[in-house]
Amino acid sequence: MAFCVAPGCLEPQNDDDQEVCLSCGSKLLLGGRYLPIEMLGQGGFGKTFLAIDQQIPSRPQCVVKQLYISNFPQETIGKAKNLFYQEAEHLDSLGKHPQIPRLLASFQQEKNFYLIQELIEGQTLFELFAQAGEFTGTQIQELLTKLLPVLKFIHEQNIIHRDIKPGNIILRTTDKLPFLIDFGIAKIMATAGKTQVGTVIGTMDYMPPEQTYGKVFPASDLYSLGVTCLHLLTGERAIDMFDVVEEKWLWQQYLPAGQQVSDRLTQVLNKLISRKLNERYQSAQEVIDDLQLAPVVNINNPFPLTSKYLGNMTGVRGRKVVPEAGNPNDDLVANISNQNQLSSRGLNYSTLKVFLLKKKWQEADAETWRLLRESIGKLVGDYLSLSDLEKIPPGDLYKVDELWSIYSQKKFGFTIQSLIYEDMDSDYTKFCQKIGWLPYTSSILNDGYKFTDQAPRGHLPSRRFINGFEWWRHADVMAKKLRSCFE
């Protein structure tokens, strides 16, 4: 099947022999040779697609990154175009490293820019963490050992990544080498779309203090890598592990029971995440040198994720294959249940994690709304009004939404719903039709909901605990509330 990439297309699926989309009339072939077949993901700057190169006999798959410019002021379009081609040159040179995807093509078609890149078959560290939980200290040390040379290479090219996080590191299936992805995309769009000095680019959870002011150095990437390691070790967000009063990290208090991190690795991690720039590692080589002094277990063997994390799972960029149905990882469930999964307000997320892991969607839905009610002191069984939704602490809403996204492989969650709602131009009726909800309220609690894997994208969590007189405005309120989580 061919997939139409035109923003706003309501029926993107087409037969692969079509030249134009039957729904919106846009060309299906990009650059005269790349045929998108599936959407892999989307964000604030554009979308990512899986595509086939039609001009090569073997029809290899590749990754298409579509960058939006249609919403930019007219006077910035030229600047965006210049930045795009400058960054494409950088990507071309970076692709010479064996752990960075090669750039295959770059061009503008209609009102959007496109980057075509090599497909790395494997899973992101975000996806691996979602399926098997926290990494061990040995796995973190091997990750650093294999990834730091990549950072050394890009920094020697005078390039700062700016957005290192678990979702931007892919572990290749064939040899378990970590690949660094998504260079320059945010920089192109954010810099071109804003005029003030010091444009902030990156993901707030992994961002060092200086980057929030638009200043970046090689040490900034090293900080983000360190925070990435902390998240993989603990499963917690950086904001929850840093004491803002004492101005110190408390990440060791969040390690799972029995988790061992060597003294040397602890010292390396602490120096990576120093809030003071001058106390942090200044180059990747410095970290490599310190790690070489640390004891390493099985460093020449394949990445330890092979047995614990990968098992019989395979996948490609942006897609995941979960363990076979009927074979849940009971040890993982027990591990999740026994860990301290408390929010800063005392909410315990462990039950929600177990329901989501076991794909007990209806139970997870009920637990979600129980947690949100508890976050604002509502009684069990109470419905939530729009004003109640506005009172939900951003941190708790973020955590609940993050769990839904992780354990559903980005199919369900409040953020997914908000993106679909905005794609429907904030038309609630179209939104309901898109995600499979009834476009009207019902007196029956579960009327119209499908608590199965076959439910449409964005179908869950439900709106069944929203006050019946206000249900039609809840998507707008939630979209605004989610934005506040990142402000």
CA distance 397 to 24: 36
Q: Is 70 exceeded by the pLDDT of residue 312?
A: no
Between 191 and 421, the more confident residue is 421
Q: How confident is the model at residue 110 (pLDDT cuts 50, 70, 90)?
A: confident
Each residue of 210-249: pLDDT tens digit?
A: 888 888 899 999 999 999 999 999 998 888 898 878 889 9
pLDDT band at 168 (very low <50, low <70, confident <90, very high): very high
Q: What is the mean pLDDT of residues 110-117?
A: 88
> Measured between alpha carbons, how far is 400 from 483 in angstroms, rounded to an integer?
15
Instruction: Tell me the HSE value of 475 on the side-chain side, using a 13 A CA sphere.
Output: 25
> Rounded to two decimals, what is the model's pTM?
0.60
Instruction: Answer yes or no: is pLDDT of 412 > 80.
Output: yes
Find residue 39's DSSP bridge partners. 49
**Mean pLDDT throughout 364-370?**
92
Q: Which of 148-157, 235-244, 404-413 has the largest mean confidence?
A: 148-157
User: Which position has the higher pLDDT, 34 or 76?
Assistant: 34
Q: What is the rounded CA–CA span in Å between residue 100 and residue 426? A: 38
DSSP state of 27: B
Average pLDDT over residues 367-386: 83
pLDDT level of residue 148 (50, 70, 90 thresholds): very high
Write down the pLDDT at residue 442.
66
CB 370 within 8 A of CB 380: yes
Number of neighbouring beta carbons within 10 Å of residue 394: 14
Which range in 131-135, 192-196, 222-226, 257-261 is most confidently predicted, on average pLDDT?
A: 222-226
Residue 348 is given by DSSP the state: B
The DSSP annotation for 12-23 comes to: -EE-TT-SB-TT
Quick one: DSSP state of residue 24?
A: T
Cβ atoms of 127 and 409 within 8 Å: the answer is: yes
Long-range contacts of 265-269 (CB under 8 A, 24+ apart): 265/137, 265/140, 265/141, 265/291, 265/294, 268/144, 268/294, 269/140, 269/226, 269/229, 269/230
**pLDDT greater at residue 192 or residue 145:** 145
Confidence of residue 187 (pLDDT cuts 50, 70, 90): low
DSSP-derived secondary structure for 445-484: TTTT---STTSPTT--S-STTB-TTTGGGHHHHHHHHHHH
Q: What is the largest CA-CA distance in the chain?
A: 66
* Share in percent of the chain as helix, strand, coil (round to 5): 40, 15, 45
Q: What is the pLDDT of residue 476?
A: 84
Q: Does 320 have pLDDT greater than 60?
A: no
313 burial via Cβ count (<10 Å: 0-12, 13-18, 19+): middle
Reading the block at residue 178, the tokens are 């970590």
The percentage of the chain sitting over the pLDDT mark of 70, rounded to a whole number, equals 79
Q: How much is the pLDDT for 194?
A: 42
Strands, E, within 315-422: which ranges? none
Over residues 136-147, the mean pLDDT reads: 94
**Distances in whole angstroms, Cα of residue 356 to Cα of each of 1, 233, 326, 401, 436:** 31, 20, 15, 12, 20
pLDDT in tens, 417-474: 988 888 888 888 889 999 999 887 666 667 789 999 899 999 999 988 887 666 778 8
The yes-or-no verdict on residue 184 having pLDDT over 60 is no
Lowest mean pLDDT among 26-40, 83-97, 289-303, 377-391: 289-303
pLDDT above 80 for 112: yes
411 burial via Cβ count (<10 Å: 0-12, 13-18, 19+) = middle
Token duo for residue 85 = 């081609």
> Is residue 286 within 8 Å of 298, Cβ to Cβ?
no
Q: What DSSP string runs through 173-227? A: TTT--EEE---SHHHHHHHHH--SSS---S-GGG--GGGGGT---HHHHHHHHHH
Q: Which pLDDT score is estimated for 223?
A: 97
106 forms beta bridges with 115
> What's the chain's average pLDDT?
80
Catalogue all structural domains in the chain, each as residue range(s) with its CATH number: 2-118 (3.30.200.20), 122-308 (1.10.510.10), 331-485 (1.10.10.1770)
Check pLDDT > 60 for residue 388. yes
- The residue-averaged pLDDT of 29-38 equals 94
What average pLDDT does this structure show over 44-56? 86
Q: In terms of C-beta distances under 8 Å and separation of at least 24 residues, what long-range contacts does 319-325 make, across chains too?
A: 319/38, 319/40, 319/50, 319/409, 320/123, 320/127, 320/130, 320/131, 320/409, 322/131, 322/409, 323/131
State the Cα–Cα distance between residues 65 and 331, nearest whole angstrom: 38
Residue carrying the six token digits 């360190």? 226
pLDDT, mean of residues 134-148? 94
243 a catalytic residue? no
- Is residue 42 within 8 A of residue 419, CB to CB? The reply is yes
Average pLDDT over residues 309-336: 32
Q: Which position among 53, 92, 163, 476 bears the catalytic label?
A: 163
Q: What is the pLDDT of residues 54-89, one digit of tens each?
A: 999 999 999 998 887 665 666 666 777 777 787 788
Find the helix or strand (DSSP H, E) in which 44 lies.
none
Least reliable range by pLDDT among 12-21, 389-398, 418-427, 469-478: 469-478
Q: Please compute the mean of the pLDDT values over residues 398-419 and round it to a whole number.
A: 88
